[in-house]
Amino acid sequence: MDADEPETPQAERRRQLLGGELRSLLPLALAVILVVVAVVVLGHEAELHLQAIEAAIAALGPWGRVAFVGLLVIGTSMLVPETLFGLVGGALFGLAWGIGLLLLGNLIAAALQYGLARRLLHARIQNALQSRPLLRSIQSAVIRDELRLQVLLRLTPLNPALISYLLGAAGVRFAGFMLASLVLLSHYAIEAYIGHAGKQWLTRGLAGTQEGWQHDLPIYAATAVGVLAIILVSKAAHRAVLRAIAENPAGPTATRKP
């Protein structure tokens, strides 16, 4: 394409979704950097802080898990990346509890975001979409192909809360909306696993345990496979969404009445 030739709408949508893919990796990269900094700079103090946090949560009993779910619902509804909560949940509550709490919290958050977009924020969201042709095209496409496109959208790197607000304002059926939200269970499992494995690695490293890289090889392999699977599925969903919105040029969006 010539440098002076205007960018086509589809090329612009592809560029915007690619930018979303890159931004989706930032929370995970930030978490890794924070762990490395904690080990290098804080040393033994990092282990003490980690133990103190775990002890405080244990002292709260079930209320500690309730508090985590509440923070997840509030934070993600304010567009804080869900990945951060996934890593923290796995690190603090272990693999099984971490996955369960992430699933519960994200489903509650999705239902809340749907209700807000459907009842309170509908007009504001629709007005905001006038300056965002990509999201407006996605919303138009969803109305024509509800469940399939909702599932695909959940697998793209777009912020899950942003998708929930968009779908709620579009007026999609609540049952299908919640069903499509379940497809992110695999993402929650991978995030919780990375958080749990990262905590184990950090604890062993600060304790000076020397078990060799072979001991951690299954962790590295499972993490790499999980991240690769997310990337491949995301790219496939990305292409499918692009094909769908190409058939729905950005224009006036028809939504179901609340």
Whether 90 maps to a domain, the answer reads yes
Alpha helices in 2-132 (DSSP H): 9-24, 26-37, 44-60, 62-77, 82-115, 122-129
Whether 253 maps to a domain, the answer reads no
Assigned token pair, 134: 């990509």
Report helix angle 82-115 to 185-207, nearest 10. Answer: 150
Give pLDDT tens digits for 205-237.
555 555 555 555 666 676 677 667 667 666 777
Whether 255 maps to a domain, the answer reads no
Q: What is the pLDDT of residue 96?
A: 92
Compute the radius of gyration of the chain from its Cα atoms: 20
Helix (H) or strand (E) holding 33: helix 26-37
- In the block, tokens 């930032």 appear at 26
Residue 21 binned pLDDT confidence (cut-offs 50, 70, 90): very low
| Highest mean pLDDT of the ranges 57-66, 96-105, 163-172 | 96-105
Whether 1 maps to a domain, the answer reads no
DSSP class of 247: T
Angstrom distance (rounded) from CA 166 to CA 174: 13
Structurally, the chain folds into a number of domains equal to 1
Q: What is the pLDDT of residue 158?
A: 79
Whether 257 maps to a domain, the answer reads no
Residue 194 binned pLDDT confidence (cut-offs 50, 70, 90): confident
Whether 82 maps to a domain, the answer reads yes
Whether 122 maps to a domain, the answer reads yes
Give pLDDT tens digits for 46-82.
555 666 767 777 787 888 899 999 999 999 999 888 8
138 or 40, which is more confident = 138
Angstrom distance (rounded) from CA 198 to CA 56: 20
| Highest mean pLDDT of the ranges 99-113, 128-142, 216-230 | 99-113
Whether 4 maps to a domain, the answer reads no
- In the block, tokens 């965002």 appear at 132
Which has the closest alpha carbon to 179: 143, 156, 148, 140?
148
Q: What is the pLDDT of residue 147?
A: 85
Contact 138, 122 (CB under 8 A): no
For the chain, what is the mean pLDDT?
75
Three-state DSSP class for 29? helix
End-to-end CA distance of the chain: 44
DSSP class of 25: T
> What is the domain range of residue 218?
9-246
Angstrom distance (rounded) from CA 108 to CA 68: 12
Residue 1 binned pLDDT confidence (cut-offs 50, 70, 90): very low
Contact 225, 140 (CB under 8 A): no
Q: What is the pLDDT of residue 133?
A: 74
